[in-house]
Chain A
Amino acid sequence: MSKLFNLKPDRSKYPSMGADGKLDIDLTSQKYVKMWLGPNHPGVTGNMAVELTLAGDEIVEAKTHVGYLHRGFEKLIERRLFVQGFPTSIRMCVAEPDTNEYLIARSTEVLSGYDKDVPEMAQWLRALSLEMARLQGLLRGVPGQAGTFSLGIGVQWGVYLRDLILDRFEELTGARVYHMYIIPGGVRGLLPDGFKKRMEENLKEIDDFIIRIRQLMFHNSIFKKRSVGIGVIPKEWVDQYGIVGTNARASGVKRDVRKDNPYLIYDQLDFDPPTATEGDIYARSWVRWQELIQTVDLIRQIMAKMPEKGDIRATNMPNVLHWRIPKGETYTKLESGRGEYGMYYVTDGSSKPRRVNLRGPSYTHAIALLEKMLVNTNVADVHATMVSLQTCPPEIER
């Protein structure tokens, strides 16, 4: 790699650091330029702003600014009945809204003592819904990385296939993006007739896409030159920065909530989370591509192993409009497409939650980690780095 890339540039022109830890950047010296990346909305990179200080085209300082999407979701949920929190919570992350449904449903079940009453059929359907959400997210996320290097055709393929999964969501839940399928005590409905057959047809199309996107991304000299050795996350940063999910696994740290703390029916599925050791953009893309294959396989496994019939909702659930949950607290988590996704949920015996606090992977990935990673990189690599971290600003601002 060292023959291809010069990873030892002259650092003498970079600003010195004062005793207070701040860089000595004098904008009037004309050595530095301030540039704002965002906030606008051309995709993942535009929901938030990154304030860059450049020396030439190299970044010497980066600061993440959020707040452009703050809608006060946590506060809104705290002022509503438990069941009214669902339509609000799912909007906290557009990329995989179903994860929020599961967290809030599971939290209320645990705190009210109904967590053991969720029927087995509902557990399988919840897992299917979550894996479908992961799949539609990966169909946008994997080719999205190619998109940052102007390989736009992959994005178009992915958007088409994602729409097919949204079709399946529509027939399963009645909605395409925000489903509200997972509810306290179970799920809202069984699989429609012929669902598995139609899903299998879609998965076959995705199988073909997986091969094509491999050719487009990983057998492509432009992609390699723009991603190998760029945006490296050393293994020791994983705990220091709270890195989770694909970003940790691509740096050689094998952590996956589905394996470490199995929930739903994941202990009955056969899978092994893919890993890499390089920790650069290429490694993260490669691991994410392998996760795409794995997610397709998991959906097939779920459809093959799930029971044909069964109850889909606990029969002893109270009337949700008069539901009071005893005082308590819990942290519920799952493995989303971006990593550990959790919710700290506190109740006080009333009909509304006392505190709801979402822990999204982007909270650390897009602020503390991104600010560190961008220093000494080229301004042209900012988008690629952000997309490789799968930053999702809505889950930072909630």
Chain B
Amino acid sequence: MKEILDKIQAKYNLQDIAIQDNDQAYVTVGKDLAIDMVTYMRDYEGFSHFVMMSCVDWIEDDKLQLLYLLNSPEKKCNIGIKVFIERNKPTMQTAHHLWKQIWTYQRELREAFGIDFPGSPRVEENFVLEGWTDMPHMLRDFDTNKYAEETYFPREGRKTYDPATYMREKLYPKQPVTAKKNKDDE
């Protein structure tokens, strides 16, 4: 793993190189060079298996961190290529032409983090949230508690019934309320 990184360090001006257990490495690369490097790793270094694409919200730095995680089946190691992009109106070059499943990740990242990938197929379609109009839900400043309280509690027309009383009234509407309770009701 170290030999590969040494070879490409100058070419892509790699920063923050971290190697774990000799089979996993993370590097940071500039936004303009990221897709070029991903392509190079696939075509020339044997990282042919695209594992996943992910995003981390570093809200305190006003940055979003994109991760392209690649695997080399022959060398049996992973490399995570990290890119930091602006948090305000984030946009990134699409990589859907490199692997067939990448458009799915980009579609999810657009919905979950608001990152635009111009030219990526079906990127504007909903992924898991149908008709979502709020802010991207995976950003750190999306308040899940506030959203749940506003959306679900209290909901108009919602009423809580005591199950035993409700069923008794439904099944025996003519029976006086003062009727003797069943043992199970107590």
A binding-site residues for B, Cβ under 8 Å: 21, 66-67, 70, 72, 74-76, 79, 110, 237, 239-242, 255, 260-261, 329-331, 340, 342, 344, 346, 354-355, 357, 359, 363-364, 367-369, 372, 397
Contact = CB atoms under 8 A, between A and B. Distances in A.
B128 A240 contact: no
Interface string B49-62: 11110111100000
A106 to B, nearest CB: 12
B175 to A, nearest CB: 39
A110 B51 contact: no
A364 B24 contact: no
Given A368-B101, A368-B103, A72 B54 contact: no
Nearest to A358: B52
Given A242-B99, A329-B26, A359-B51, A367 B126 contact: no
Nearest to A67: B128
Interface stretch (B32-40, B72-80, B154-162, B163-171): B72-80
A55 B28 CA distance: 48
Given A364-B104, A368-B100, A368-B101, A242 B129 contact: no
Nearest to A372: B100
A13 B56 CA distance: 47
Contacts of A240: 99-100
A255 B144 CA distance: 40
A364 B52 CA distance: 10
A330 to B, nearest CB: 6
B85 interface: no
By DSSP majority rule, is chain B's interface helix, strand, loop, or mixed?
mixed
Contacts of A359: 51-52, 69
B127 interface: yes
B36 to A, nearest CB: 20
B52 A255 contact: no
Contacts of B26: 329
A66 B78 contact: no
Given A331-B78, A355-B54, 6 more contacts: A67-B129, A75-B144, A242-B50, A330-B20, A344-B52, A363-B101
B124 interface: no
B101 A331 contact: no
Q: Residue among A237, A240, A242, A355 with the most chain B CB within 10 A?
A: A242
22 contacts: A21-B121, A66-B128, A70-B129, A237-B100, A239-B49, A239-B73, A242-B50, A242-B51, A242-B99, A242-B100, A255-B73, A260-B76, A330-B24, A340-B51, A342-B51, A357-B54, A359-B52, A359-B69, A363-B101, A364-B104, A368-B103, A369-B100
Interface string B111-141: 0000000000100001111100000011000
B100 A344 contact: no
Contacts of B67: 344
B48 interface: yes
Interface string B6-18: 0000000000000
A261 B23 contact: yes
Nearest to A115: B21
A397 B128 contact: yes
Contacts of A372: 100
A72 B144 contact: yes
Contacts of A346: 56
Nearest to B137: A75
B126 to A, nearest CB: 7
Contact of A261 (B76, B103, B121, B126): B76
Contacts of B78: 331
A110 B23 CA distance: 14
Contacts of B56: 329, 346, 354-355
A260 B73 contact: yes
Contacts of B129: 67, 70
Nearest to A241: B100
A242 B76 contact: no
Nearest to A365: B101
A67 B51 contact: no
B98 to A, nearest CB: 10
B101 A367 contact: yes
A241 B101 CA distance: 6
B76 A66 contact: no
Nearest to B20: A330
A25 B40 CA distance: 38
A364 B130 CA distance: 20
A364 B101 contact: yes
The 8 nearest A-B residue pairs measured at CB: A67-B128, A368-B101, A364-B101, A70-B128, A359-B52, A355-B56, A357-B54, A239-B48
A394 to B, nearest CB: 11
Contact of B49 (A242, A330, A369): A242
